[in-house]
Amino acid sequence: MRILRFEIVLLIGTVLFSFQLSNAYAHNFYQNKDSIFFALIKQFEIEKNLASDNLASNKSASLKHSENADRLFSQLVSLNKAIPKKSNFVNKYDTKFNHLNLTTKALVTANLADQSLKQYGLSNGLDKKSATDLLNMSTGMIMKMNRAATINISNDALGQKVETMPIMPASNHSLNGVLNEHDEGAISQVNYETSTELAKSLKKLFSDNLENARLQNSSGLMHIPINMKVNSVKELGQGIDNLILALNRNASLHEVSSIVHGQIHPYLFLAFDLKLKGE
């Protein structure tokens, strides 16, 4: 098992290195219409539920979540004019989601992980641009995370305990400032609620659709063995659990970013044949 984990880390590093020369971003996957649409559906559902949950106890938070739901609904209508203007349309599309292919479901998972990170950035006081910058982590940054993971796995082979992938050292000055400047800032409850609910949605999506899915043989130039895919699914589940735990204890942006980019996206890529832009 340790050898397999070590091979996975090396494979991730090799894949990401091929994109470093063109400054591609490691998590910038090719999307399709369904992956964009259904990620928005999930976000809309979360904001709508949070608006309802806060109505009695915190009307200002409820209003903000309702405004977020309205904004997401407008985006959905722009993608599909047939969406009815009634709230029960979500149930219809939840049923359709079950019939999507694995790659599309994995893309939705990646998108929700991104949005959880972005909302957590906003909850820590970042403006929208800075929060979006959290998603644009270069391959060089991700490779540093994976080199650190390689060291940890090697230490594990020597009998030392490994709990989580370490916080990555940021190599970009401006992003380093984004990650550190607001770590001790006040938490915005509305964005924080959205971030944590998105992470919970990730867990459910994984459990219901990805954890026990029948994995497919690799397509394209790079063949990934099925046993490596199986292990990647396990690592993905652990990464999602780590994200939920980190958000629950108000971990630093640095740590939450490292989980999304180092413990969720790479294993989605390996297990479900996602395509990186530039591939």
| pTM assigned to the model | 0.76
Of the chain, the percentage scoring pLDDT greater than 70 comes to 69
Residues near 244 by Cβ (< 8 Å), separated by ≥ 6?
A: 196, 199, 200, 203
Residue in 136, 118, 115, 105 with CA at minimum distance from that of residue 209: 105
Residue in 120, 148, 144 with CA at minimum distance from that of residue 132: 120
Residues 132, 118 contacting (CB under 8 angstroms): yes
Indicate the SS3 state at residue 273: coil
Residue in 85, 122, 140 with CA at minimum distance from that of residue 196: 122
Tokens of 76: 């959905």
- Give tens-digit pLDDT for 62-76: 999 999 999 999 999
Tokens of 252: 């630093």
Specify the amino acid at residue 252.
S
- Give tens-digit pLDDT for 237-266: 999 999 999 999 999 999 999 999 999 999
**The pLDDT of residue 273:** 84
Indicate the SS3 state at residue 29: strand
Name beta bridge partners: 25.
Answer: 138
